Amino acid sequence: MRNSNRVVTAGFFALALALVVVILPACQTVKGVGQDVKNAGEAGERAIDNAK
């Protein structure tokens, strides 16, 4: 019984670690895309203001 609990615990730990490894870089990518979109919008606003 004890060994099966250790296997389940190790399995959950491995799953949690895998999720962290997958999700953490994805968050950085989404953050980077958001920053790029923000910068593009600000550049567009500056271009419009300069054209006036």
- Report which DSSP code applies to 1: -
Q: Would you state the pLDDT for residue 24? A: 76
- Alpha-carbon distance 17 to 35, whole Å? 27
* Residue 24 identity: L
Q: Which amino acid is at 19?
A: L
Per-domain boundaries in the chain: 22-52
- Reported as a single tens digit per residue, the pLDDT across 1-52 is 566 788 888 888 898 988 888 877 777 787 888 888 899 999 999 988 888 6
pLDDT at 49: 87
